[in-house]
């Protein structure tokens, strides 16, 4: 295994140099005076003091899709070159919705393969699986004691789930789902994160994280950096085949990996209206296939489809076939890299294990700081 390029590259850089030991590292937070000074000057964001610390997570609750890719993964991959990046597989979070152990194991490996094939570079970031850093759950408890119930009751993730249940039966919602934003706050605060690249659907969770951090700092003294979301407005919400937000939980996704036949079928299932091909479509920009083409096709190709649809004379079947061709082409290199990585799963697991060692060192420091702040030391 040691001779493989993936792990060898990983070892030669991430272990030896270590993301945490980059020269532009933010000074350790142990120094209370520094902390106080920094919080006063920069409102807790420490933006100008060194390498920007970036973090994001994706749940292994199903196959990753275009929404994940354009909303979170690509922006995160871009940021790994600009700062100190922490990217993790949120397997604790997936427990709020998925109860099949074998599937969780499989999806965890799948998510790792998707991230790596998409361009995540383990030499440039810390990449690991959340449950290998149990500090997240301990910090979540500390944070939960300063989190008002009302804050969580207002969260869409919980409210939407309740709204879908017969008679709004809250008893059928597990506590994990209700408390999920607190665990997410712990994920973020443990790494002194400044920037969190996410899709628009996570904006509210980021606001909750900020509220919790500010409240904790107010009660126990400056302890946590206040993070900011980084939402790519152009791809804020990628639509699914039914026009709702594309999501693993809605069965409306176009996956990053999968076989040609089933992906083609998914594309052909995209919902359209009943207007005839000859009709001009002045609202062509609202068409789901056009919105997706803008993501996967060269701009002039997407603009050409849009103009032709607007003018009339293009059938929806042809439009969807055109979308499939572009989508398939766009991810050709991705599929190749993924297949190659998938033939070496042990190396991928080794990358995650090594990442967890690095993540844990950072997490333990912050947890100790938080415990000291509230008298648990």
248 belongs to the catalytic site: yes
CB of 241 to ligand ADP, least distance (A): 11
195 strand-pairing partners: 54, 228
245 belongs to the catalytic site: yes
Out of 63, 183, 198, 351, point to the residue binding ligand ADP (CB under 6 A): 198
Interacting residues with ligand ADP between 49 and 68 (CB under 6 A): 58-59, 61, 67-68
161 belongs to the catalytic site: yes
Residue 124 contact partner, candidates ligand TRP, ligand ADP, none, CB within 5 to 8 A by sort of partner: none
Residue 83 sits in the site that holds ligand ADP (CB under 6 A)? no
Which among 103, 164, 200, 245 is annotated as catalytic? Answer: 245
For residue 255, what are its two tokens? 């996956």
Residue 249 sits in the site that holds ligand ADP (CB under 6 A)? yes
Residue 84 contact partner, candidates ligand ADP, ligand TRP, none, CB within 5 to 8 A by sort of partner: none
Residue 205 sits in the site that holds ligand ADP (CB under 6 A)? no
Distance between CA atoms of residues 218 and 42, nearest Å: 16
Interface region with ligand ADP, contact rule CB under 6 A, candidates 125-133, 246-254, 333-341, 368-376:
246-254
186: left (phi over 0), alpha (psi -120 to 50) or beta: alpha
Tokens 């900020």 correspond to what residue?
210
Q: How many CB atoms lie under 10 A from the CB of residue 104?
A: 17
85: left (phi over 0), alpha (psi -120 to 50) or beta: beta
Long-range CB pairs of 261-267, under 8 A, 24+ apart, other chains included: 263/324, 263/327, 263/328, 264/324, 266/241, 267/241, 267/320, 267/323, 267/324, 267/327
Out of 83, 181, 199, 355, point to the residue binding ligand ADP (CB under 6 A): 199
CB of 180 to ligand TRP, least distance (A): 7
- Backbone dihedral angles phi then psi of residue 356, each to the nearest 5 degrees: -65, -35
Residue 202 sits in the site that holds ligand ADP (CB under 6 A)? yes
- Backbone dihedral angles phi then psi of residue 344, each to the nearest 5 degrees: -130, 60
Residue 360 contact partner, candidates ligand ADP, ligand TRP, none, CB within 5 to 8 A by sort of partner: none
Q: Interface with ligand ADP by CB under 6 A: which residues?
A: 58-59, 61, 67-68, 71-72, 198-199, 201-202, 237-238, 245-249
């Amino acid at each position: 295994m040691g001779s493989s390029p993936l792990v060898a590259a990983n070892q030669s850089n991430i272990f030896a140099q270590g993301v945490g030991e980059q020269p532009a590292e933010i000074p350790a937070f142990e120094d209370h005076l520094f902390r106080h000074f920094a919080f006063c000057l920069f409102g807790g964001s420490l933006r100008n003091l060194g390498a920007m610390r970036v973090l994001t997570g994706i749940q292994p609750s199903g196959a990753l899709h275009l929404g994940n890719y354009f909303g979170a993964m690509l922006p995160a991959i871009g940021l790994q070159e600009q700062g100190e990046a922490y990217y993790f597989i949120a397997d604790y979070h997936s427990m709020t919705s998925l109860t099949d152990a074998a599937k969780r194991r499989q999806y965890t490996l799948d998510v790792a393969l998707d991230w790596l094939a998409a361009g995540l570079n383990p030499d440039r970031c810390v990449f690991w699986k959340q449950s290998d850093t149990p500090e997240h759950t301990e910090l979540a408890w500390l944070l939960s004691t300063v989190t008002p119930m009302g804050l969580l009751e207002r969260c869409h993730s919980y409210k939407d789930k309740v709204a879908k249940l017969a008679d709004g039966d809250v008893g059928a919602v597990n506590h994990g789902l209700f408390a999920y934003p607190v665990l997410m706050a712990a994920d973020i605060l443990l790494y002194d994160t400044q920037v969190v690249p996410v899709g628009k659907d996570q904006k509210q969770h980021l606001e909750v994280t900020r509220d919790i951090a500010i409240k904790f700092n107010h009660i126990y003294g400056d302890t946590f950096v206040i993070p900011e979301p980084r939402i790519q407005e152009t791809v804020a919400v990628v639509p699914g085949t039914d026009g709702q937000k594309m999501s693993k939980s809605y069965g409306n996704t176009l996956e990053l990996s999968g076989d040609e036949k089933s992906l083609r079928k998914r594309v052909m299932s995209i919902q359209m209206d009943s207007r005839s091909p000859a009709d001009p479509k002045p609202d062509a920009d609202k068409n789901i296939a056009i919105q997706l083409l803008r993501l996967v096709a060269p701009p002039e190709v997407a603009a050409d489809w849009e103009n032709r649809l607007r003018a009339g004379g293009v059938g929806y079947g042809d439009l969807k076939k055109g979308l499939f061709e572009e989508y398939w082409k766009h991810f050709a290199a991705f599929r190749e890299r993924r297949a190659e990585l998938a033939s070496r799963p042990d190396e991928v697991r080794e990358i995650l294990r090594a990442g967890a060692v690095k993540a844990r060192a950072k997490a333990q420091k912050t947890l100790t700081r938080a415990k000291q702040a509230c008298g648990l030391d």
